Amino acid sequence: MSVARAGIVLCGGRSSRMGRAKAWLPWFDGRTLIEHVVERIRPAVDEVLVVTSVALDLPALDARVVRDREPERGPLAGLRDGLAATSAAHAFVTATDAPFLTTEYVDGMLSRRAACAPVEEGHVQVLSAVYPGEGAAVAERLLEEGRGRPRDLLEALDYEALDANDPALASAPWKGFNTPDAYLDAVRGEDPDARCRIEFLGRAALASKSPNLEVPVGTLGDVLAQAARACDLDLDLVEGEQVARGHLVSLGGRDLVRDLSLPVGPDERISVLDAQAGG
Amino acid sequence: MSGIHGRYLRIDLSRGTSEHVAIPESVSRRLLGGVGLGTWLLLRESTPGFDPLSAEAPLVFAFSPLVGTGLTTSAKFAVVAKSPLTGFVCDALASSHFAIAGKRMGIDAIVVKGACETPSEWVRGVLRPTASWGRSAAETTSVLGGEGRVAAIGVAGEQLVRFATISADGRHAGRGGLGAVMGAKRLKAIVVAGELETPIADRTALEARADRLRARAAGPETAKYRELGTVGNLLAFDRVGALPTRNFQTSHFEGAEKLAAERWRGERAHRRAACAHCTIGCEQRYASRPGGAADVRIEYESQFALGPLVGVADPDAVLASSARCDALGLDTISAGATLAFSMECGERGWLEGAPAFGDDLLPWLDRIATRDGLGDRLAEGSLRLAREIGDEAVGIAPQVKGLEMPGYEPRALQTMALGLAVSSRGADHNRSSAYEADFSEEVDRMHGDARSVAAAVAAEERAAILDSLVLCKFVRGAMGDLFEESAAILSDLTGEAWSADGVETVAKRIVDLRRLGNEREGWQPADDSLPKRFLEEPIPGGPAVGARLPAERLRDLIRSYYLERGYDESGRISSDRRTAFESELGLDLTGPASGGADDA
């Protein structure tokens, strides 16, 4: 089926500075960031494609999942795979960490029917831009030539540079985050009272006066400290920069972690488990 | 070599005789005791392709060098036989005074062969008719307990249910249907007693080492087992999307809260107990109903299999089902999983008269144990029932090699998925314990890779040593380097110099021997896999929603595992290596071309 407008979400990055897959970071109302971004794009396009590596499972989305054939080659390879997978004349392309994206912005960008991207203080926002469908073949050629930046593609497509100071773009919906602090700042900016849920299981439940609590979002270290104080926990959960050896923490039911610097997001459910599983 | 007696007792039930047979010291050095020695005895005492329910089938009770030493958790024995459920080498462990009393007979193992003409019991050298046929193992033990330590089967074993257990001191050698092997011999019970002490080379050093291990085993590394027991797993597994629910259709159970041990603590009487010579005391007993006495022993595997897996959220019902399985002599995992499978088949319209998810299990457990009506077909296990129904049913039967799967969702625990697929015993959490890596930061549990392979191999080897020494898995966290500490223990015990490398070599040898045994009995590469469901369907909901284990990924993991083990691409051990095993161990490991679960 031929479509006119597509949205492409690139989420193959390793999120190494964040320590957690960005796609699965919580973003209010029990939704993950990838769910939120897809929801924002969906009304403005005929189809949404999510380009991801095989190493990342995704929640159920109103989108087509496209596998990034060469995740090690960076975003241009993913962009190529996304453009190649759609018959749309134009596609709006974004990264996963774009919670401030609006349907109106995507609609406005696609209404230009041409390659275009905002430019802010000299930086081309290549992952908040429109690419024409034929960009797939151009991206392939650029990759073969060893030119792996999305900006090379935009330039090869003779894109229109949009002034980020234009009032229509003033909300800077391309703003994202790469570190726990930046993510938590964004969350608190949206809701200063954002909270997460913590549940003590196993031995921690036996040692706690209240095994289920709500505390403000923060790093895992912050959250555990607040919860331990709030429920008068008779157990030491922290050992240096890590969760103590006898315990393990589940973030949102997916990541099993001990690193106290990881971020815990809004409405996220954290479970403190015994590390000795099985038997 | 101290620590062993260097002989086993071969009982011939057909003739009513018994004799001592020497075990070469070289075999004890190469395989230790427990599952290592037991596998050797099974293969030595049988011919390739034998029927596990025939008179010629050996049933081995293997003790170990550490039995009788006083080391915490060492009072364990292995029952080894060809499984009537899988058709492959099977071993099941139990902790009890049976191990201590058996070894005090001056033997390292008992091999039972032949079959009785009428139901009988073997009591300290005397084979006699039994009055306990039709009774539970516990009732049988109360009748015979005055004459020694008892290992007995329940009604399920008598009826050749392919997942019947053998019980001793209320603990069960549970997996693989070894109770049916005993039942096929019309042997209700074995009673052992003796006075011979285990020879120990350096008793003072070993006792000091035992004291240190006992002290560590009282520390934080075993705290979870002491304080909550394995039942503490259920809610944790639910929260991480790893709790198999409704025949593995999903991995999150809406009734998990009601079945959580954390909640039971405030609702019903509870007490802890311990196996013989164990200072951890992981056994948890709960009142079967609020207000009652703490009378039912429950483990996570029973709790999951008789709860979420069959859609039951009523704790009274789960505790009652667990107690009924123990009384009948049924493996709780296979019983629950076979019932869960039949429930899904019923929902799909494939099996008339099947129970429904959430139904009361008690009448169904009775029907299985007595082979009454549909219970007769369920008593054959999920794979045989699935094959009767058709290929689609085989794809959702929760088993590997015919053994029903334990309570670990493989799509959400992919190191464990590999461990389950390649385990010689079938879907097995005790001969691999690869889940340990999944519940850590060591691997990405949702995406198995090279780290998962290394972790699965290491976990298998640790288990092989613990199961041959024998020590309980729960003491593993209290041991520093398992191989080093085992070598030190063995050096004190045997008076011979053991090294960590030497112990690790034994572990690898035991893993390989079991694989060679399976090859002899007809193992084929396709036997190392998981049911189609896990390879084709993502987890549909809950915390692990979307988790997938594509067939290609599992194949890659298995191939890497073979490579790591030095097998060929199809998982076979080279003929040169097999010949070396045959020569070192005095075994004939060449088997017929077919066999396995198809022929069992």
CB-nearest partner of B439 from A57, A201, A256: A256
Across chain B, which distance is largest between two alpha carbons, in Å? 66
Same domain, A23 and A156: yes
A205 touches chain B (CB under 8 A): yes
Shortest CA distance to B239 belongs to which of B546, B543, B545, B547?
B543
B430: DSSP letter: S
Asked whether residue B336 is domain-assigned, the answer is no
Contact A246 B220 (CB under 8 A): yes
Domain count, chain B: 1
The helix/strand count (H/E) of chain A reads as 8, 17
Phi and psi at residue B179, in whole multiples of 5°?
A: -65, -30
Phi and psi at residue B453, in whole multiples of 5°?
A: -65, -50
Shortest CA distance to B449 belongs to which of B418, B421, B410, B427?
B418
Same domain, A102 and A233: no
Question: pLDDT at position B460, please?
Answer: 97
d(CA B7, CA B109): 7
Question: pLDDT at position B110, please?
Answer: 98
Question: pLDDT at position A279, please?
Answer: 64
Type and span of the H or E element at B113: strand B109-113
Same domain, A148 and A199: no
Same domain, A117 and A225: no
Kindly identify which residue of chain A lies nearest to residue B230, measuring between CA atoms.
A279
Asked whether residue A180 is domain-assigned, the answer is no
Asked whether residue B20 is domain-assigned, the answer is yes
Same domain, A162 and A203: no
A240 touches chain B (CB under 8 A): no
Q: Are B26 and B125 in contact (CB under 8 A)?
A: no
Contact A202 B236 (CB under 8 A): yes
Tell me the pLDDT of chain B (600 aa) as tens digits: 999 999 999 999 999 999 999 999 999 999 999 999 999 999 999 999 999 999 999 999 999 999 999 899 999 999 999 999 999 999 999 999 999 999 999 999 999 999 999 999 999 999 999 999 999 999 999 999 999 999 999 999 999 999 999 999 999 999 999 999 999 999 999 999 999 998 899 999 999 999 999 999 988 888 888 999 999 999 999 999 999 999 999 999 999 999 999 999 989 999 999 988 888 888 899 999 989 999 999 999 999 999 999 999 999 999 999 999 999 999 999 999 999 999 999 999 999 999 999 999 999 999 999 999 999 999 999 999 999 999 999 999 999 999 999 999 999 999 999 999 999 999 999 988 899 999 998 999 999 999 999 999 999 999 999 999 999 988 888 898 999 999 999 999 999 999 999 999 999 999 999 999 999 999 999 999 999 999 999 999 999 998 999 999 999 999 999 999 999 999 999 999 999 999 999 999 997 654 444 433
Query: A-chain residues within 8 Å CB-CB of B538?
Result: 57
Size of interface A-B (CB pairs under 8 A): 116
* Distance between A245 CA and the closest CA of chain B, angstroms: 9
Segments of chain A scoring below 50 in pLDDT: none
Residue B245 bridge partners (DSSP): B250
A257 touches chain B (CB under 8 A): yes
For the domain that residue B85 is a member of, what is the CATH number? 3.60.9.10
Asked whether residue B25 is domain-assigned, the answer is yes
Asked whether residue B55 is domain-assigned, the answer is yes
The amino acid that residue B461 corresponds to is: E
Question: pLDDT at position A167, please?
Answer: 82
CB-nearest partner of B300 from A248, A271, A279: A279
Query: B-chain residues within 8 Å CB-CB of A199?
Result: 239
CA A22, chain centre distance (Å)? 3
Q: Which domain holds residue A109?
A: 5-169
Question: pLDDT at position B257, please?
Answer: 96
Same domain, A251 and A141: no
Query: A-chain residues within 8 Å CB-CB of B221?
Result: 246, 276
Asked whether residue B160 is domain-assigned, the answer is yes
Question: pLDDT at position B600, please?
Answer: 35
Asked whether residue A178 is domain-assigned, the answer is no
B409 touches chain A (CB under 8 A): no
Question: pLDDT at position B16, please?
Answer: 96
For the domain that residue A203 is a member of, what is the CATH number? 3.10.20.30
B7 SS3 class: strand
Asked whether residue A177 is domain-assigned, the answer is no
d(CA B162, CA B180): 6
Beta strand pairing call for A5-10 and A47-52: parallel
Same domain, A46 and A159: yes
Same domain, A127 and A33: yes
CB-nearest partner of A279 from B220, B230, B544: B230
CB-nearest partner of A248 from B241, B439, B474: B439
Same domain, A13 and A135: yes
d(CA B236, CA B253): 12
Helices (H), B348-481: 362-370, 374-378, 382-389, 391-396, 414-422, 435-438, 450-469
Contact B240 A254 (CB under 8 A): yes
Same domain, A27 and A163: yes
For the domain that residue A64 is a member of, what is the CATH number? 3.90.550.10
Same domain, A70 and A164: yes
Q: Which domain holds residue B122?
A: 7-192
Domain count, chain A: 2
Asked whether residue A14 is domain-assigned, the answer is yes
- Choose from A38, A52, A57, A249 for mutation: most chain B CBs within 10 A: A57
Same domain, A202 and A161: no
CB-nearest partner of A253 from B227, B440, B543: B543
